[in-house]
Structure 1
């Protein structure tokens, strides 16, 4: 019996099935309650961690299947171009404010993390690894490698930033009375990449389209600005 269980846990199907099941459970709970803090991604992560720890299952065993889900992150991000295509006229009308907002937002994200790392006395390696925190994972990992950081820390920062955007992004917009749909979408996409965009899509088609646009442009701008700003301020 133990051999069968060990074989199942070591199979890539284990990681895939547990990921899908926990996310589905989280989605059902979120739809039932409507509470922003019960985000399906957050809930599924917590459930997976609790399950692995409770049954003493290693992350390596889980990730044999979990990594296949990560493979689809890139194609899933590309799909976000569909709502953008529907709002292409809106993009043309606001191209300069959009590009300006994303550029300033990206630069602010880089400088703020450098400042925070200095404030808390974190070493240079951790600081460099955290610089790509606000861009989508595939680009962030490559940028981290280019800067000499640790991709594992970068991924953790990206996930935390994305979840933060989902949980508090809309509240910040409401607090500061930012009700322009283009501005809301650009702000969320620039600061919290694809995870934040999932929340922007819930807010509306325009917000989702602009947030999806911000993911790609913010990634490109960050790749261009990060080495320069890191060299100047670190």
Structure 2
């Protein structure tokens, strides 16, 4: 039993479970013709959660073992600049709208989360936990720590926002008749960061490039506005 426990908590096992879950997600997406629910990240989350539950491994142990996967999140995020560079000519005429839309979107995201929690009777700590959900996970966690939120819960909510955006975002934009690939990418990146960007890249290279740009700018703007919002409130 002790040998099984040692094997289940080893870094190799944790990384293997994560990669197998993601690979299963890619296979399901191909087999279902890109069904919105067949998102590799969502499938990987379900597989990893099921595996560590069955093996009776706590999340902290799993996270420590799968650090290699987390390490590559930084380089992978930086690599999103590559498709943007390829589409740089499409930035023409977009600077003005982005300077208005992205800060406004970040502000609406923070205020709506804070206001909804307050309206439903939640405390300030919970409101500050949910407010930075539109930023990427590392940024939202750091902001939650700075303003007095609950970083662990912020991480969960941020990932959930990313998954929901990846699953439903393109459909919502289509129903709203948003057809410009640049606008679609900016909307997805601003609301569902890296997870939504992976879906956008799968849909269209232009859409994915602008989603990556929007993700980075939203994280920057949220980092600048969050302390000001806390001070004002």
In the alignment, is the contact (CA less than 8 A) between 2:17 and 2:47 conserved in 1?
no
Which has the higher mean CA deviation after the structures are superposed, 44-53 or 203-212?
Answer: 44-53
Gaps of 5+ in 2: none
Which has the higher mean CA deviation after the structures are superposed, 5-14 or 207-216?
Answer: 5-14
Q: Residue by residue, what CA displacement relative to the aligned partner does 1:153-205 show, whole Å, maximum 9, x if unpaired?
A: 11111101100110110011011101111110100001111111111112211
- What CA RMSD, in Å, does the superposition of the two structures yield over aligned residues? 1.4
In the alignment, is the contact (CA less than 8 A) between 2:9 and 2:65 conserved in 1?
no
In the alignment, is the contact (CA less than 8 A) between 1:102 and 1:214 conserved in 2?
yes
What is the CA-CA distance between 1:4 and the residue it aligns to? 2.3
- Give the match for residue 19 of structure 1: 18
Q: Name the CA distance, whole Å, in 1 between partners of 2:55 and 2:10.
A: 16
What is the CA-CA distance between 1:64 and the residue it aligns to? 2.3
Instruction: Note if 1:60 corresponds to 2:60.
Output: yes
What is the CA-CA distance between 1:27 and the residue it aligns to? 1.4
Q: Name the CA distance, whole Å, in 2 between partners of 1:10 and 1:205.
A: 38
Gaps of 5+ in 1: none
In the alignment, is the contact (CA less than 8 A) between 2:8 and 2:55 conserved in 1?
no
Compare relative contact order (CA 8 Å, sep 6+) and give the higher one, 1 or 2. Answer: 1
Which has the higher mean CA deviation after the structures are superposed, 114-123 or 211-220?
Answer: 114-123
In the alignment, is the contact (CA less than 8 A) between 1:11 and 1:64 conserved in 2?
no
TM-score (norm 1): 0.94
Instruction: Note if 1:10 corresponds to 2:5.
Output: no
Q: Residue by residue, what CA displacement relative to the aligned partner does 1:6-46 show, whole Å, maximum 9, x if unpaired?
A: 22123111111111111111211121013211211111211
